[in-house]
């Protein structure tokens, strides 16, 4: 998982973006009117009769299940660098994907054109996966009615370009004003407004609107030969007024503070050390080192270390882990997943005992259980796979100051960076972006070059204290799996590991 957004505009979308730049307000108003309108974006060109015919054609060679996924997305990317707006692009990404399931096999085809004729062609291609069995007829469609977990009145994605640019300028100025040693500042802005509709042969018709924004600040501090780039983010699935309380100025100052502090950092102590990880983004460690092992495809294929651990102790008794798509404004939150299943809150680990896994429709069917609302995809060009939403260690009972006081000598990982894990072995490594030494129960000098190295199932057993300061980070996080990238939230309170191996500038293999 990475803190940076990995989705890039392809050439086709970029060229479309050049056209839309002149007329974006029209397209935004056209595509994102009220969801309660009699005819929405997709229904203007595709009737229920058309959709049912496409589903029927997809099942024409004997599939068990067929599905249509329709998407219309407007993406805006802005970059400010060297006090100037260096780039500003709009991209429209639209299309439909047709899926056919036959046993464990999946047939999938997509079209950039949302017309009935092109979707029929895609359905014919997807149908080739199933060439035997009884021909089934799709059920009559019924619109799924859900009460949203949260609503947005003025999403940032629908704001004017003038207001968006103003946010970048404010963050830039605050970072530069923080300290004279801040020599460069880069600000990246990305927002999306997305409308989706899912229709399947079981009669489901579900639709949703999803908005997201991310503002990332990268101030560069220079002092002699020392250089360090700070980092801070704001955003989520939020309205424009979010930036009144979570101001761009604060983001600029946070990033600049980190850059200045880390100029004076010393080499991190290598080897086994007690490690305290700060709240919020620190949860990326659990996401990567443990969460992926609970996704349904690895469980079904028996490639996950957690495949046979249901009902067994997998963590220390103070650990509770949750995956929750219903958190208001969360980066991984949604009303429905990309198969039309309502978003859910799932307790994965309770008091150290494994209680559940995360499933999409296909893997749930093959495992004879139900989807947990974790079927997700990057776009209409891919079929859904089981993915996390907002995954975090839940609230504990200990004050964070007491956790720090319990450490005689160790490391405080205030801000984690990105990392990776081998889900078959559980081995992980994570960069610590901002770290400090703990001496006699107090946070002292900053440390650089710290990398946490270990094994997920082993590390989670070494969590001995969990704080009462839970933060689920809604500002950043893009998770990659099988070539697909989705937005995901992570979180935790302050937690203490009895020991984790630290590698870094002073790292010595003999000390492991």
Report pLDDT digits (tens) over 453-468: 999 999 999 999 999 9
**Would you call 206 exposed, middle or buried from its count of C-beta atoms within 10 A (0-12, 13-18, 19+)?**
buried
What is the full DSSP assignment across 33-95? Answer: S-TTSSS-TTTTT--HHHHHHHHHHHTTT--SEEEEEEEEEEEEEEEEETTEEEEEEEEEEEE
Residue 471 has pLDDT above 90, yes or no: yes
Question: What is the reported pLDDT for 511?
Answer: 27
Mean pLDDT of 97-106: 95
Of 457, 439, 455, which is closest to residue 447 (Cα–Cα)? 439
Phi, psi of 396 (to 5 degrees): -110, -160
**Other beta carbons within 10 Å of 103:** 13
Give the model's confidence band at 390: pLDDT under 50 very low, under 70 low, under 90 confident, else very high. very high
Tokens of 387: 């993915």
Question: What is the reported pLDDT for 53?
Answer: 97
Give the model's confidence band at 8: pLDDT under 50 very low, under 70 low, under 90 confident, else very high. very low
Of 509, 476, 18, 417, which is closest to residue 213 (Cα–Cα)? 476
CA distance 100 to 66: 4
Question: What is the reported pLDDT for 114?
Answer: 95
Contact 393, 321 (CB under 8 A): yes
Lateral strand order in the sheet of 471-473: 353-354, 345-350, 321-324, 390-393, 489-492, 471-473
According to CATH, the superfamily of the domain at 11-262 is PmbA/TldD superfamily (3.30.2290.10)
Contact 217, 229 (CB under 8 A): no
Residue 506 has pLDDT above 50, yes or no: no
Residue 170 has pLDDT above 80, yes or no: yes
Beta strands of 41-83 (E only): which ranges?
A: 65-81
Question: What is the reported pLDDT for 3?
Answer: 59
CA distance 31 to 38: 13
Give the model's confidence band at 510: pLDDT under 50 very low, under 70 low, under 90 confident, else very high. very low
Mean pLDDT of the chain: 91
CA distance 234 to 347: 27
Question: What is the reported pLDDT for 37?
Answer: 47
> pLDDT tens for residues 16-60?
333 333 345 555 655 676 544 445 788 888 999 999 999 999 999
| pTM: predicted TM-score of the whole model, two decimal places | 0.91
Strands 182-200 and 451-455: unpaired
Region for 250 from its dihedrals, namely left if φ exceeds 0, alpha if ψ lies in -120 to 50, beta otherwise: alpha
Beta strands of 280-404 (E only): which ranges?
A: 321-324, 345-350, 353-354, 375-376, 385-386, 390-393
Strands 84-102 and 105-111: antiparallel
Mean pLDDT of 1-10: 48
Contact 60, 125 (CB under 8 A): no
CA distance 290 to 490: 12
CA distance 42 to 115: 9
> pLDDT tens for residues 402-440?
999 999 999 999 999 877 778 778 899 999 999 999 999
CA distance 217 to 233: 6
> pLDDT tens for residues 329-368?
999 999 999 999 999 999 999 999 999 999 999 999 999 9
In this prediction, what percent of the chain has a pLDDT beyond 90? 84
Mean pLDDT of 194-218: 97
Tokens of 162: 């003038």
> pLDDT tens for residues 256-312?
999 999 999 999 999 999 999 999 999 999 999 899 999 999 999 999 999 999 999
Question: What is the reported pLDDT for 130?
Answer: 82
CA distance 453 to 74: 39
Question: What is the reported pLDDT for 28?
Answer: 61
Phi, psi of 130 (to 5 degrees): -120, 110
> pLDDT tens for residues 230-257?
999 999 999 999 999 999 999 999 999 9
Residue 10 has pLDDT above 60, yes or no: no
Of 262, 213, 278, 272, which is closest to residue 240 (Cα–Cα)? 213
Domain with CATH 3.30.2290.10 in the chain: 11-262
Mean pLDDT of 75-98: 96
CA distance 356 to 157: 35
Give the model's confidence band at 503: pLDDT under 50 very low, under 70 low, under 90 confident, else very high. confident
Contact 388, 375 (CB under 8 A): no
The secondary structure of residue 219, as a DSSP letter, is E
CA distance 404 to 495: 10
Higher-pLDDT residue of 134 and 53 is 53
Q: What does each C-alpha distance from 287 to 122, 180, 233, 486, 506 come to in angstroms? A: 35, 37, 19, 13, 27
Q: What does each C-alpha distance from 79 to 70, 86, 156, 215, 463 come to in angstroms? A: 30, 6, 16, 10, 40
Tokens of 357: 């896994």
């Amino acid at each position: 998982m990475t803190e940076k957004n990995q989705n890039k505009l392809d050439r086709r979308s970029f060229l479309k973006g050049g056209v839309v730049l002149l007329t974006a307000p029209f397209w935004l108003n056209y595509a994102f009117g009220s969801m309660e309108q009699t005819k929405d974006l997709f229904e203007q060109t595709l009737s229920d009769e058309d959709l049912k015919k496409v589903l029927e054609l997809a099942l024409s060679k004997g599939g068990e299940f067929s599905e249509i996924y329709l998407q219309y997305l407007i993406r805006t990317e802005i970059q400010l660098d060297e006090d100037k707006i260096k780039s500003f692009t709009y991209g429209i990404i639209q299309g439909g994907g047709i899926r056919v399931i036959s046993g464990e096999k999946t047939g999938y085809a997509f079209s950039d054109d949302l017309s009935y004729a092109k979707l029929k062609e895609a359905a014919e291609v997807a149908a080739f996966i199933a060439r035997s069995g009884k021909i089934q007829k799709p059920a009559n469609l019924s619109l799924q009615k859900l009460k949203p977990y949260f609503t947005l009145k003025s999403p940032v994605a629908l704001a004017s370009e003038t207001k968006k640019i103003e946010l970048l300028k404010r963050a830039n100025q605050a970072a530069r004003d923080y300290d004279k040693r801040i020599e460069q500042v880069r600000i990246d802005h990305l927002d999306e407004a997305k409308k989706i509709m899912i229709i399947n042969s079981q009669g489901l018709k579900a639709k949703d609107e999803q908005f997201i924004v991310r503002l990332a600040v990268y101030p560069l501090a220079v002092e002699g030969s020392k250089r360090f780039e700070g980092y801070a983010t704001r955003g989520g699935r939020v309205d424009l007024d979010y930036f009144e309380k979570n101001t761009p100025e604060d983001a600029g100052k946070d990033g600049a503070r980190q850059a200045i502090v880390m100029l004076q950092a010393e080499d991190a102590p290598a080897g086994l050390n007690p490690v305290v990880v700060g709240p919020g983004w620190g949860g990326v460690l659990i996401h990567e080192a443990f969460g992926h092992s609970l996704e349904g495809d690895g469980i079904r294929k028996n490639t996950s270390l957690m495949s046979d651990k249901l009902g067994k102790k997998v963590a220390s008794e103070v650990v509770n882990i949750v995956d929750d798509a219903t958190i208001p404004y969360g980066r991984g939150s949604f009303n429905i997943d990309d198969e039309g299943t309502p978003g859910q809150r799932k307790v994965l680990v309770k008091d150290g005992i494994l209680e559940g896994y995360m499933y999409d429709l296909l893997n749930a069917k093959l495992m004879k259980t139900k989807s947990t609302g974790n079927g997700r995809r990057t776009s209409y060009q891919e079929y859904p796979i089981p993915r996390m939403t907002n995954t975090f260690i839940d609230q504990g009972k200990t004050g964070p100051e007491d956790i720090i006081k319990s450490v005689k000598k160790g490391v405080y990982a205030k801000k984690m960076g990105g990392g990776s894990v081998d889900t078959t072995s559980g081995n992980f490594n994570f960069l610590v972006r901002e770290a400090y030494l703990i001496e006699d129960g107090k946070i002292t000098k900053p440390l650089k070059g710290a990398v946490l190295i270990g094994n997920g199932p082993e590390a989670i057993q070494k969590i001995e204290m969990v704080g009462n300061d839970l933060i689920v980070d809604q500002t950043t996080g893009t998770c990659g799996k099988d070539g697909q990238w989705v937005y995901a939230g992570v979180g935790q309170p302050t937690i203490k590991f009895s020991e984790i191996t630290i590698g870094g500038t002073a790292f010595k293999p003999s000390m492991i």
